Amino acid sequence: MLHISLTRLAVRNIPRNIDSKALKALAREATVGFAKDVKSGLREPLSKEELHRSTEDMKEADKLRKAKGKGIIKQAKVVFEGKEGSKVDEKSGAGRSRGYGFIEYYSHRSALMGLRWLNGHAVAGPDKKKKRLIVEFAIENAQVVKRRQEKEEKSRNHDDEGARHQKRPASNRRDSSKLNSNSQKGMKRKRSESTGQGKLNQIPTPNPGKANDEKPEKDNQIAKRNRIIAKKRMMRKNRK
């Protein structure tokens, strides 16, 4: 299912020398330029309907952005291709610009300001010949957007957990670390004591009862042997 994004812009006719970093700078300049044009009377300001045309998710994202001190641009990307014409990562340095890209703002208000200033804006190319940008709201796949939002939500929750951990008082962190170290030492001590006790238990100890039982048994064996010898002697005498 396709729908028009309220915060993501599709930008075409980008000069080949413009990369993602330069596009992001242009997107930032666009909102400032739009505000200056409105102030000087060159442009009409955004209407009340346009200012209120934001979803709850956008408002929440904008609040989080302000709380974290981030800029108004979430992402700016120029699409690059390799020698075979397939998409390649810009960071690889092995491709060249396809001449189009995307800009994503945190709020619909900023996206509208950026679109109106950037659309038709002339940008100098590598040969100093100016090209006018063609900008419109991007058409997106709803499933792709949902996956992206879920990923952002997980990342946001992870960042919040890290922030809560950092906000814990230093004394509490020290106490917990001491408790962990003491418990580990206690476990090591118990382990060493248990192994030492085990070795002590392995030392043979004399058993007086066992010695007493062995003595009469030995006497019986001697007496039995003596009776056998005497019997054999009597048999020899009778033969004579």
Whether residue 222 is contained in a domain is answered as no
CA atoms within 13 A on the CB side of 10: 8
Give the pair of three-digit tokens for residue 147. Answer: 């996956």
Q: Is the pLDDT of residue 120 over 50?
A: yes
- Domain count for the chain, please give it: 1
Tell me: pLDDT of 212 over 60: no
Q: Is residue 146 part of a domain?
A: yes
Which pLDDT belongs to residue 200?
Answer: 47
Mean pLDDT of 52-67: 79
pLDDT in tens, 171-199: 555 555 555 665 565 565 555 555 555 55
Residue 97 and residue 16 in contact, taking contact as beta carbons nearer than 8 Å:
yes
pLDDT tier at 31, thresholds 50, 70, 90: very high
Say how far apart CA 12 and CA 138 lie, in whole Å: 11
Report how far residue 79's alpha carbon sits from residue 87's, in angstroms, rounded to the nearest whole number: 7
pLDDT digits (tens, 9 = 90+) for 141-166: 878 778 877 877 777 677 666 656 66
In a domain, 40, yes or no: yes
- What letter represents residue 49's amino acid? E
Helix, coil or strand: residue 88: strand
Task: Give the residue, 184 or 43, on which the prediction is more confident.
Answer: 43
User: Looking at residue 113, which CATH number applies to its domain?
Assistant: 3.30.70.330
When pLDDT is averaged across residues 220-227 and rounded to a whole number, the result is 82
Mean pLDDT of 71-84: 92
Q: Taking CA 48 as the corner, what is the angle to CA 45 and CA 53, rounded to the nearest 5 degrees?
A: 110
pLDDT at 69 over 80: yes
Nearest-angstrom CA–CA distance, 136 and 73? 16
Question: Which of helix, strand or coil describes residue 73?
Answer: strand
Q: 47: domain range?
A: 2-163
> Is the residue at 220 inside a domain?
no
> What is the arithmetic mean of pLDDT over 72-81?
94
- Is residue 201 included in any domain, yes or no? no
Q: Which residues pair with 87 in a beta bridge?
A: 81
Q: For position 156, what pLDDT does the model report?
A: 67
Q: Percentage of the chain surpassing pLDDT 90? A: 37
What average pLDDT is seen over the chain?
80
Considering the domain boundaries, does residue 84 fall inside one? yes
Choice among 84-93, 96-105, 161-170, 220-229 with the minimum mean pLDDT: 161-170
Q: Would you say residue 91 lies in a domain? A: yes
- Pull the structure tokens for residue 80: 């690059």
Residue in 150, 117, 155, 120 with CA at minimum distance from that of residue 134: 120
- 115 part of a folded domain: yes
